[in-house]
Chains A and B, each alone.
Chain A
């Protein structure tokens, strides 16, 4: 139980330590990160679609 608590407190600590991005959020950086988000959402949606397709076909 203690090990779990330590693990989660470590994760909380990491989240706090890296809570803010250090790189200056210029227009180019913002655009790149937004494009990456859109890309990943589209790709994950495609994977879910494929997974459902395989599941339905058995």
Chain B
């Protein structure tokens, strides 16, 4: 009897913890899954097609990288109750504040264009014209944010996050060899040797794991959700779970293209989906749906990151818990970035490839700055108090930030000068 009583008590405690997590869950998992945006899916699809399963170990290494960086934004947001843009203005003055805000606006807008490129390409596989995709996306995103509640936005975003898992059944459909995945994928190796192209792919994968908008988005989301210091452990768990999900999804995309398209040169995820359609109609369809979902989730989060940042600095009401009448500028910024980015995709002969490359280069100018500010802000004992970075966190965070800064810079340079390392 005692055994059953204890079992019941433990079960009840666990269920209570799960229910509590479902209330707290959100910013971490949403930002991490949204990081697998249209550009991310393209990078993973191309990685699998180029190197098969050989770079899976590298993707797994990115789990702690993503976690350590994003966890800092949870603490900063929960303790200061300020978004990342406002924290930079307040901490480092107007010069660095404007630099970060304007750079963020530019990067976000350009990235938003690439999300629309991904979404229109994905639905064009099913015969949907680009203008219809753009219009439908804008309407859908309006419905998501105009409910006047952060909770609704977050839970709908979590639904789109769940759709991102579509790559997992897709990978099972192509019947990969588990033995090959374990043998080739889990032992660190550089298939074909460490050359310029391999270096470019490694950097591209890092670049898609940590993006500047993620820091701004998660910190603002933590503030808008109203998370407090006592919620930090749940925020950490949410972020850790998100980092696992994002990398696991990436691994499954690599498995799909590594199994079916190994040796094929892939330039875009839409092209990968079309190629997969020839082999297996369902897998191709899954990849196309996943690409659209990734673009949509990325677009939702990126446009919000800009609107939150502007609202914080200009002192406008900037919460999803407000109605349009209460926060007109917040919603105006949101829809302005969204509609203009959507319209760019519809311009005939718009330089979309150039824009995609430009995003990667411009992001490199913002990412190091945002990461350096993040570390410095987390060491401000006067504000952070007991939540200040410990020596261990500084060593790990410092190492990760230095590695990301060096590699993302090299990535930006190789985008500008492709033949530099070959």
Which A residues fall within an 8 A CB radius of B? 10, 14-15, 18-24, 29, 32-33, 36, 39-40, 43-44, 46-47, 50
Contacts and interface: CB of A to CB of B under 8 A. Distances in A.
Nearest to A32: B372
Given A10-B314, A36-B368, A24 B382 contact: yes
Nearest to B416: A50
Interface residues of B, number: 27
- Of listed B93, B369, B413, residue having the most chain A CB within 10 A: B93
Interface string B353-377: 0000000010011001100100011
Nearest to A42: B409
Interface stretch (B61-69, B84-92, B235-243): B84-92
Interface string B63-102: 0000000000000000000000000011111101100000
A45 B389 CA distance: 34
A36 to B, nearest CB: 6
Given A24-B380, A36-B372, A43-B365, 15 more contacts: A14-B94, A14-B313, A18-B94, A19-B94, A21-B92, A21-B96, A22-B91, A23-B91, A23-B92, A23-B376, A23-B377, A40-B365, A44-B365, A46-B413, A46-B416
16 contacts: A14-B97, A18-B89, A18-B90, A19-B94, A21-B91, A21-B93, A21-B96, A22-B91, A23-B91, A23-B377, A23-B380, A24-B380, A24-B382, A43-B364, A46-B416, A47-B361
B4 interface: no
Interface of B: 89-94, 96-97, 313-315, 361, 364-365, 368-369, 372, 376-377, 380, 382, 405, 409, 412-413, 416-417
Contact of A29 (B361, B376, B413): B376
B314 A14 contact: yes
B8 to A, nearest CB: 52
Q: Is the interface of A mostly helix, strand, loop or mixed?
A: helix
The 7 A-B residue pairs with the shortest CB-CB distance, nearest first, are A21-B93, A18-B89, A18-B94, A23-B91, A50-B416, A15-B94, A21-B92
A6 to B, nearest CB: 11
A12 to B, nearest CB: 10
B93 A18 contact: yes
A18 to B, nearest CB: 4
A44 B295 CA distance: 29
Contacts of A40: 365, 369
Contacts of A47: 361, 416
A14 B115 CA distance: 32
A29 B314 CA distance: 26
A42 B413 CA distance: 11
Contacts of B97: 14, 18
Contacts of B376: 23, 29, 32
Contacts of A21: 91-93, 96
Nearest to B371: A36
A47 B369 CA distance: 17
A54 to B, nearest CB: 10
A9 B101 CA distance: 18
A24 B92 CA distance: 9
B94 to A, nearest CB: 4
A46 B364 CA distance: 12
Contacts of A14: 89, 94, 97, 313-314
A50 B91 CA distance: 33
B292 to A, nearest CB: 32
Contacts of B313: 14
A20 B416 contact: no
A50 B364 CA distance: 15
B409 A20 contact: no
A1 B92 CA distance: 32
B369 A36 contact: yes
A27 to B, nearest CB: 12
Nearest to A20: B93
A32 B409 CA distance: 17
A29 B313 CA distance: 23
A43 B89 contact: no
